[in-house]
Structure 1
Amino acid sequence: MTEGLGAKLREVRTAKGMSLRSLAQALGVSASLISQVEIGKTQPSVSTLFAMANHLGVSLDELVGNVPTASPSPVAPVPTPPDASTVRRAAEYPVIEMENGVRWEKLASVPGG
C-alpha cells in the first residue's frame, strides 16, 4: 500500500469535519480499524476502501494518485491530451497492493483520464 493513502484518508476525513467514530459507524467498522488504516498499520479490504472513498466523496484515483483532494473549481478544466512523446514507466504509477492480492494501479497520466 502506498504510504500516502492513510494520510490522504485522514486529510479528507478531517477536511469534511468527520470524526473517526462517525466514519466508522457509517461504514459499520471499528474506529480502531479506521485509525490503523490512517497511520499505516493495516490495510483495508477492497470493499472497506471503496466504502470509505464513497462516503468521503472522493474517488479511488484521488486516494491512489496525485489528484488534488481540494474541492473542485466551479469551472471544470478542459483536459489537454497527453503529449504523444510523453512516456511514463510502470514504476512511476502509484500503486496500492492489498494483502489479499488485489492491486490498484493508476494508469491514466492525465487527471480524469
Structure 2
Amino acid sequence: MTVSAASLLTRMRTRRGLSMNAVAALAGVPASTISRIEAGKIEPTVAMLDRIATAIGFRLDAEVTESGTDAPFVAPLRRLAEGSPDARGAVLATFPIVAALAPVTRRAGVRRVELTVALPEALAALRSEDAGPVVSSLEAFASDVGVVRSFTPVVYVTDPKVVRSLRDVSRGSSTVMLLMPTTDNVRAFTREVDGVAMVSPEWGLLDALASPGRQADVARTVLEASLVRPETAVA
C-alpha cells in the first residue's frame, strides 16, 4: 500500500502529540508548509519530508520508526548559533518539546553506571582508558564539573560498552551516571572548558531536560530563568 506524504506527516505529528505550529518550529519551516502538506495541496520532496521527520525524532523508512538518536537537537541549536539574539527566546521556548523527542535513556547504546567518586575523578578514570569523555547535562550548562548538579549526570564516551573503570548500576546504587556514545552531532557541539571537554551549554540543557525524573524538573526551572536572563547558570 502506498502511503502519501500527507498521511505520513499526519501520523508522525499526531504520534508525537504536536501541533502543526510546533512541528514547523522544530523543523524550521513555515507553518503553512506543514498545513499544505497534510492537506495534500503540495507534495514535499524526500529531502523536505526527511528534514521534518528528523526534527521530530523519526527516520524515513518503509515504516515510521523511532530514530533513537540525538538528531532532533541539531536544528534548534544551529538556529541559535545562526539566528539573531532576538530569536533566541523563541528557540529556547521549544527546548522542552525537542528534549522529549530524544530521551537520554532511550538513545541507542546508553549505559547506566555507578558514580561512586567525584565527577572529576570519574572523568580522569575515563580519560585514562582513552574513552574520550565529554560532559553534558547541567554540569555542561554551568560549564563546571566541580559540583555534581545533576541527579543523573550525562557523559558521552567513544564506546560505553567497553568502559571498565565504572561499574554497571546495582540495586543499591545511589548516584547513577549515564554513559552515551559520542556521535558526530555531539562532536560538532563540543568545546573545552578549563581542560574538560563539554558539550555547549544549550546541548547540556537539552540533555538535562531529556533526563528522567527530578533532573528534568530542575532543568525546566533553569530554562525558565534563562528565558528571562539569558546568562543565568545553575546556582
Output the TM-score relative to the length of structure 1. Answer: 0.48
Output the TM-score relative to the length of structure 2. Answer: 0.25
Question: Comparing both chains, which one has the higher relative contact order based on Cα–Cα distances under 8 Å and sequence gaps of 6 or more?
Answer: 1
Larger Rg: 2
